[in-house]
Amino acid sequence: MNGVEVSPWTLRYVAVAVASFLLAQALMVLGLSYPIRPLAAPATLATVHLVTIGWLTLLMLGVLHQFIPVIGAKRLHSQAASGVTFWLVAGGLVLLVLGFLSMPSLLLPIGGTLVLAGVLIAVWNLGVTLAASRPLRLPALYVTASLCFLTLTVLLGVSFAVALTLPEVFAPATIGALLTRGIALHLLGGIGGWFGLTAMGVADRLLAMFALAPEDRGRARHWAFWLVSVGIGASWLAGLILTLMPSPVVQDIGMLGWGALFIGVALYLFDMRELFRRRRRRELEANAVFGRVSLWALGVAAAMTAFAGVLSQFASLAPALVYALLVGWLSGLALSQLYKIVPFLTWLERYGKTLGKTRVPRVQDLVVERRARPMFWLYFGGAAVGTLGMVVVSEWLLRLGALLTLVGTLGIAREIWLVRHPKTEPVPSDRQSA
Amino acid sequence: MMEPKILDVRADLKAGREPLPMIMQAVKGLSPGQPLLLRATFEPIPLYRVLGMKGYGHEAKRIEDGDWEILFSPGEKRGLFGHRSKAAPDDDAAAKTSAEGWPAPVRTLDNRGLTPPEPMIRILSTLEEMGPGEVLEAFNDREPQFLYPELRERGHSIHVEKQDQGAHLLIRHSD
């Protein structure tokens, strides 16, 4: 009898991730990043990487070390390796942030290498677990693809760190290409490939599971995955080839890839609408309600992309697009799912042994949604204000948006903290948990 | 084709007796390759799944008085919803536990359509009410991964049959 154990590391990843996100938002409120500072300013880069590595990467890695065993019905290959990844990525992040703030500094390539080492261990650890659980179902396919993009993105990141601090390693032309087209690949692979595909796969499973929606929702569900992952892969590869040599054919393939990605996202949103439409649970819990709101943010980002394409304004709308994706969709989804994952794991840890023998509280008795829901609205309101601030390049709107998301995140983090550290013991509610 | 064994449960159904133990008993008594011909007052759709998982296909037809006659013949293994079971590589020690020689289930839980962790709570609560060696059967939407460590802790054994759209569990109470 195997079964999956609760990972002792997941909640540590979550704690450092939430702390990084709070710090990054505080820096934005203080005006220490774009648009008050330039996009490539040290403080902006430090803030962005607190969000991307500290918050989203640590969070997703922590969750995947629990999620992949559960969806694949296979034990995690190594819990110890999960701990090593945690320390390497968290330690690397600290050096990276200090490195950005003292650019050019050797701390950048050192920190980057630590993050890379942690990520490679995670990819190996999770990859072996995935391989043991073949044949892979759709959520596992999403995660497999996303782990490939994670590796590529971090490899590129380390190359930037080396190019910035030890330029003699590369030919001057390579540095030029790296720091222009390379950055675009870093963004595409990181946001679309790593965060995007992970978020899509995890949401496909978690939202269906907790909203009681069927898995056989039709072809769109599968087409969405293939179009998005192959689309990102094709535009990524095309971008890489184009840094080495100009080729109109490859450029066309790249454009096709973007097209496939766009259609894939549209199909995904359609499928998610089906998921909610065909659910059997009428009253949704906060994780599903706000998971759905985060999908609206993805929809808004997709609409912005279409709009930017029509007006040929892609370059000027790109910062707003990135903000809508990172803060609205990905972080919003992450917060909403954490609000389910942490209570669930805590409940298992606390009551697993006595289940069936005594009446225990339900998972929902561990949370107070009445207090959490306004915090989520504050968060998403702030994300909308911040995105608008990015579109019109208004410093004050952006800072106001960041203040609202910061207060919202603090409120949600407090609720999650209280799940772990209740002031009073939760009691079984009247509704029997059966 | 081998001569089928005939089982008529119509009288039992009319008398309000639960036919499942009898049917399972009859299935157990079949010789290898032998079909079972079942007569009942209604079409026993849930049974298709249960016997499908044991590798029996079915052919149903209406007979006199609106009763049903179903021929269960051994052959291709079918999944919970009539699909062919995916031959998922199953090195789980859990799934390997053979349910052979276990008594027929005394309780059945349909946990489909419940959100986690409710299936797990129901299974563990039901087991507390059961006696040593008794078998509980459950239909779940998915394999209850977090249940296994609790069962192990309490000394119960489980046999899991993975389906395309769920899992069929047989859990034997510790002796």
Mean pLDDT score of chain A, rounded to an integer? 92
Q: Is the pLDDT of residue A39 over 70?
A: yes
Cβ–Cβ below 8 Å for A357 and B116: no
Q: Which of A420, A421, A205 is nearest to A333 (CA)?
A: A205
Helices (H), B64-117: 93-96
Q: Where are the domains of chain A?
A: 288-346+361-425
Establish if B124 touches chain A: CB-CB under 8 angstroms: yes
Q: Are strands B157-163 and B135-140 parallel, antiparallel or unpaired?
A: unpaired
Residue A341: predicted pLDDT: 94
B129-134: list long-range contacts, CB under 8 Å, 24+ apart.
Answer: B130/B106, B130/B173, B131/B173, B132/B173, B132/B174, B132/B175, B133/B103, B133/B172, B133/B173, B133/B175, B134/B103, B134/B106, B134/B107, B134/B172, B134/B173
- What is the distance in angstroms between the Cα of B11 and the nearest Cα belonging to chain A? 35
Q: Is the pLDDT of residue A352 over 80?
A: yes
Cβ–Cβ below 8 Å for B146 and A3: yes
Cβ–Cβ below 8 Å for A1 and B116: no
Q: Which residues pair with B87 in a beta bridge?
A: none
Establish if A70 touches chain B: CB-CB under 8 angstroms: yes
Residue B83: predicted pLDDT: 39
Mean pLDDT of A9-29: 96
Between B151 and A21, whose confidence is greater? Answer: A21
Domains in chain B: ranges and CATH: 5-74 (3.30.110.40), 93-172 (3.30.110.40)
pLDDT class of A36 with cuts at 50, 70, 90:
low
Structure token pair of residue A397: 């709107």
Contact list, A134 vs chain B (CB under 8 Å): 89
Across B20-156, where does the E strand assignment appear?
36-40, 56-62, 68-74, 107-110, 135-140
Mutation for testing the A interface, residue in B118, B145, B151 having most A CBs under 10 Å: B145
Residue A355 per-residue DSSP state: B
Share of chain B above pLDDT 70, in %: 86
Establish if A99 touches chain B: CB-CB under 8 angstroms: no
Cβ proximity of B110 and B92 under 8 Å: no
- Distance, CA of A13 to chain centre: 13
Instruction: Give the Cβ contact number of residue A28 at 10 Å.
Output: 26
Cβ proximity of A257 and A234 under 8 Å: yes
DSSP letters, A153-216, are HHHHHHHHHHHHH-GGGS-HHHHHHIIIIIHHHHHIIIIIIIIIHHHHHHHHHHHHHHHT--S-
Residue B97: predicted pLDDT: 64
For residue B73, the one-letter residue type is S
Q: Is the pLDDT of residue A425 over 90?
A: no
d(CA A95, CA A364): 39
Cβ–Cβ below 8 Å for B149 and A5: yes
Cβ proximity of B103 and B170 under 8 Å: no
Contact list, B153 vs chain A (CB under 8 Å): 353
Establish if A339 touches chain B: CB-CB under 8 angstroms: no
pLDDT one-digit tens code per residue, A162-216: 988 888 888 888 888 888 889 999 999 999 999 999 999 999 999 999 998 888 8
d(CA A175, CA A159): 9
User: Cis omega before residue B46 (within 30°)?
Assistant: no
**A-B contacts at Cβ under 8 angstroms:** 79
pLDDT class of A316 with cuts at 50, 70, 90:
confident
> Taking CA atoms, what residue in A is nearest to B113?
A212
Between A87 and B47, whose confidence is greater? Answer: A87
SS3 state at B159 = strand
Residue A353: predicted pLDDT: 86
Mutation for testing the A interface, residue in B96, B121, B160 having most A CBs under 10 Å: B121
Consecutive H or E run containing B45: helix B45-53
Establish if B158 touches chain A: CB-CB under 8 angstroms: yes
Residue B59: predicted pLDDT: 83
Burial degree of A103 (CB within 10 A; 0-12, 13-18, 19+): middle
Establish if B126 touches chain A: CB-CB under 8 angstroms: yes
- What is the distance in angstroms between the Cα of B152 and the nearest Cα belonging to chain A? 7
- What is the distance in angstroms between the Cα of A265 and the nearest Cα belonging to chain B? 26
Between A144 and B159, whose confidence is greater? Answer: A144
Structure token pair of residue A40: 């490539």
pLDDT class of A2 with cuts at 50, 70, 90:
low
d(CA B140, CA B109): 9
**CB nearest A4 (choices: B116, B118, B146):** B146
Establish if A183 touches chain B: CB-CB under 8 angstroms: no
Contact list, A280 vs chain B (CB under 8 Å): 113
Question: Which residues, 6+ apart, have CB-to-CB distance to B23 below 8 Å?
Answer: B7, B9, B38, B47
Q: Is the pLDDT of residue A153 over 50?
A: yes
pLDDT one-digit tens code per residue, B67-123: 888 888 887 544 444 333 333 334 444 444 677 788 888 999 999 888 888 899 999
Cβ–Cβ below 8 Å for B145 and A3: yes
Establish if B81 touches chain A: CB-CB under 8 angstroms: no
Q: Is the pLDDT of residue A20 over 70?
A: yes
Q: Is the pLDDT of residue A132 over 50?
A: yes
- What is the distance in angstroms between the Cα of B68 and the nearest Cα belonging to chain A? 31
Torsion region of B33: left, alpha or beta (phi above 0 gives left; psi -120 to 50 gives alpha): left
Cβ–Cβ below 8 Å for A135 and B165: no
**CB nearest A73 (choices: B97, B145, B151):** B145
Residue A85: predicted pLDDT: 98
Cβ–Cβ below 8 Å for A69 and B116: no
Cβ–Cβ below 8 Å for A355 and B120: yes
Q: Is the pLDDT of residue A29 over 90?
A: yes
> Taking CA atoms, what residue in A is nearest to B115?
A210
Contact list, A1 vs chain B (CB under 8 Å): 92-94, 97, 148, 151-152, 157-158
Strand ordering across the sheet containing B5-8: B5-8, B36-40, B68-74, B56-62
d(CA A181, CA B133): 67
